[in-house]
Structures are given as C-alpha cells and as structure tokens.
A and B are shown apart, each in its own frame.
Chain A
C-alpha cells in the first residue's frame, strides 16, 4: 500500500506547530503551542517555549526546524542588542523583524524556519511582522503560522476585529490555539501566551486541560 506524502520534509527535531500574534488596542498578544516533534510520530518535547524574547518589548515565535530557529534567534538577539547600544534607545519592532529577515533571506537555501515577530515600540506602538520561509517580511494586524495554522484561517478571518480589548484578544488567541491543537497532531501541550504593552510584558500559560473545549470534545 502506498504511503502518500508522509515523510517529514524537515530533518531532525521540528516544531510542527501553531503560532500566532494579534494586535489589540494598546498592545499585542503572541501565542504558541508547546510541542516539538520528530517526524510525525514522536513528540520529543511536550513543554518547549516557542515564544522567545529578543529584547525588552520584542518577542519572536518560531516555526520549522528547531535547530535553525534557535541558531537564528541567537544571532538575532546579538545583532539587536548591539544595534540598540549603538542607537542608545530600545530597538524598533521593525528593526528586529528586519534582522531576522536578513538572516533568513541570506541563508534561504539552507534554512527552514519561519518567524512571527511582535512587540511594542514608542514610534509605532504595537506591531506584528511575519518573516516567512524564504525571507519575505510583511506587516499585518493578525498573523498565524506553522503547520496547525491551516486549520484556523477561517476562524481568524471570521473572529478577528481590529481594536479589541486585551481580554477579548487573549480569549481569541486561546481559542484559536485550542482549535488548531485539536486538529493538528504535531501541535499540542500547553498554550504559551505573552501580552506586550507600553507598560510591560505579561506571560500567561494555559495548561492543556484548561483550554477551551468545543462541541465534539
């Protein structure tokens, strides 16, 4: 019996994943699941944190090959802190996203990682940028990525409204992650959420059993 397209295209540990970021009135919410898998059958970690802090108010979520993503974010953190010392002010979110984009684009043949960069800066307030696999950079109000994201495009399109409150946006992000984790077998575990506003950063972790349940569960 033929097996159709079941070989994983990413070698080694990959974050088959669901990541998202959304802008609300006054800040951004960034979220991810916490599962790392090898191939499609083995979960190598149930509790990895894919939301990485690259500066005080700038976070980045990773999707794709875990090794590539960790190497890139390490390099990006260094570049960004150097840049911020030179400028003598906190870096812009666009600067963080551009640093990641440069690294991804210059090494696009070898790398297999995508990022969502989100944060708050004084000039433009809350922003979300997505750096896709080949090194494309776009600014969006809400964005999702990773293997589990395909299942929630419809939900995001229907549910997201600009200028939500913080609580509405948190609930929206939790629901979206729960729905994606419910359908994608390489996403799962807990939901990591980070809220970034002018005032600071707040981490929220929603364990698996506290995630919202839907009609067939």
Chain B
C-alpha cells in the first residue's frame, strides 16, 4: 500500500489524488490531504473560526485529531485545507514574514497584511500548490475580519466563508442561517452546526470540531467531541 510520498502529486483538487490523466500510465501516489471543512465568521468585535479534524492519505485517516487552525500571530489565525504539506509550509513562511514585519513596525500586524502575504505565496506558486486557506483575526484598525484565499490565489474579504471539500454541502445551510449582526455565541453555534452537517455528508471530513474565537481580549479555543456534536433529524 503506497503510503509513502515521494513527491507532491499535482492533481485535480476536486477529484482528489489518483485521478488518471489521458492515455499515460500513471502511478497512483497518495498525497496527504486535509480535504476538509473549514469555516470562518465575522461578528461585531471579532471572528469565530472552525474546522474538522481529519487528515487523509487516500482512504486511510492519517490523523483523526488534526488541528487545522494554525496560529500566524497573536490574534491572526488561518484555517488550512488542501494538501497538508503545502499549507503547513505556507503557514510557516507567512508566520515568519509577518513576525518580522511586526517587529519592524513595532505594533501588531493587520489581518489584511497576513491575508496578502498568503495570497502572494499562493498566487506566485499556484501551479505547484494545492492550498485553500481562510485567514481570520482581529486588529485595531478594522476589528474582526475574514479573508478567503482559495486555490489559485484569489483574495477576497467576506463576512462568512467556508472552504474545503465538505464546504459544498453547507453552502445552502450557511446562506439560509447566517444573518449579519450575530453575536459570538450565535456564531459559535452556527459554525458548530454547519461543520457537523458537513462532516455527516463528506467522507473526507470528520473527527472532532475545533473552534476558536479571536477578539480584542484574545483567543479562546474549544473542542466539541464527536458525541457532543449537534444532531439533526435522522431520516
């Protein structure tokens, strides 16, 4: 069973690893993927971010308690989806660049700056990378912000954003249930519910739900275990 990775297999992110290209004999390499469900919501005073906890290598779950909410700076986090190697590498690079920039300025960095650093790397190396990232955090200038940097390297700010393979199943739920002006607890509940629904339907998402809220006071992290997830009418 090919669990070892020799090189990054660049393949169609939608169809996942092992899709066959026309005509040529292809060796099926299993990439370590966080095909996942990630979500970030802005509220007045901060942001709430959430992710599932499954990392897969083909059909094997390499890590069932992954932490996909990565700290970039004190009040700036990113949610990672796509290739685990790519996103870990980019996050490390951006964290270094941002830390350096913050020392130069002698003040906390802006979320928009972090998002632009992600975008710069993702766009420049778009042919080699498979990374979909949500950058979220709090800064003094604009408060809570969520920026989406999907595969390809676009950058857009949105009040609520979902990403990863499981996100397709919850667009409808998110559109129907998100309302501007929710408070922190409502955002937490919405994120937990949305992630549970996605984990129920997407084979590449599962495990526990990790949540974090970032505001002027700081970062508060929560974990919701499998048996405590919100349940919906089973039919």
- Secondary structure type dominating chain B contacts: helix
Per-residue interface assignment for chain A, residues 179 to 191, with 1 indicating a CB less than 8 Å from any chain B CB and 0 otherwise: 1101100000000
Which of A158, A160, A215 is in CB contact (< 8 Å) with B179? Answer: A215
State in angstroms the CA–CA spacing of A179 and B177 once bound together.
Answer: 11
Contact (Cβ within 8 A) A179 B233: no
Q: Taking the complex as formed, is A140 at the interface, i.e. its CB lies under 8 A from any CB of chain B?
A: yes
- Pick from B57-65, B110-118, B136-144, B167-175 the stretch touching chain A: B167-175
Interface centre among A2, A154, A176, A215 (most CB of B within 10 A): A154
Q: Taking the complex as formed, is A196 at the interface, i.e. its CB lies under 8 A from any CB of chain B?
A: no
Number of residue pairs A-B, CB distance < 8 angstroms = 74
- Chain B: CB-nearest residue to A152: B172
Which of B12, B171, B194 is in CB contact (< 8 Å) with A151? Answer: B171
Which residues of A in the span 121-180 have a Cβ within 8 Å of any Cβ on B?
A: 140-142, 150-162, 175-176, 179-180
Contact (Cβ within 8 A) B176 A151: no
A131 to chain B, nearest CB (A): 19
Q: Taking the complex as formed, is A214 at the interface, i.e. its CB lies under 8 A from any CB of chain B?
A: yes
Q: Taking the complex as formed, is A109 at the interface, i.e. its CB lies under 8 A from any CB of chain B?
A: no
A213 to chain B, nearest CB (A): 10
Q: Which residues of B contact A4 (CB under 8 A)?
A: 12-14
State in angstroms the CA–CA spacing of A62 and B15 once bound together.
Answer: 24
Which of A5, A156, A158 is in CB contact (< 8 Å) with B12? Answer: A5
Which residues of B in the span 136-184 have a Cβ within 8 Å of any Cβ on A?
A: 168-180
Q: Which residues of A contact B106 (CB under 8 A)?
A: none
Q: Taking the complex as formed, is A216 at the interface, i.e. its CB lies under 8 A from any CB of chain B?
A: yes
Q: Taking the complex as formed, is B129 at the interface, i.e. its CB lies under 8 A from any CB of chain A?
A: no
State in angstroms the CA–CA spacing of A176 and B12 once bound together.
Answer: 29
Which of A140, A161, A162, A179 is in CB contact (< 8 Å) with B172? Answer: A179
Contact (Cβ within 8 A) B173 A5: no
Interface centre among B173, B179, B200 (most CB of A within 10 A): B173
Known: A4-B13, A142-B235. A155 touches B173 (CB 8 A): yes
State in angstroms the CA–CA spacing of A154 and B180 once bound together.
Answer: 20
Known: A2-B127, A157-B232. A182 touches B201 (CB 8 A): no
Q: Which residues of B contact A153 (CB under 8 A)?
A: 169-170, 172, 197, 201
Q: Which residues of B contact A2 (CB under 8 A)?
A: 127
Contact (Cβ within 8 A) A154 B175: no
Contact (Cβ within 8 A) A154 B13: no
Known: A2-B127, A160-B233. A154 touches B194 (CB 8 A): yes
Contact (Cβ within 8 A) A151 B172: yes
Which of A140, A151, A176 is in CB contact (< 8 Å) with B168? Answer: A151
Q: A5-B15, A150-B168 are in contact. List 17 more A-B contacts (CB 8 A).
A: A4-B12, A5-B14, A151-B169, A152-B171, A152-B172, A153-B169, A153-B201, A154-B173, A154-B197, A157-B200, A157-B201, A158-B197, A160-B235, A183-B171, A214-B176, A215-B180, A216-B175
List the 7 closest pairs (A to B, CB-CB), nearest first.
A152-B172, A154-B173, A179-B172, A155-B172, A154-B197, A154-B170, A153-B169
**22 residue pairs bridging A and B, Cβ less than 8 Å apart:** A141-B235, A142-B235, A150-B169, A151-B168, A152-B171, A153-B197, A154-B171, A154-B172, A154-B194, A154-B197, A155-B173, A155-B176, A157-B197, A157-B232, A157-B233, A158-B232, A161-B233, A176-B172, A179-B172, A183-B171, A214-B176, A215-B178
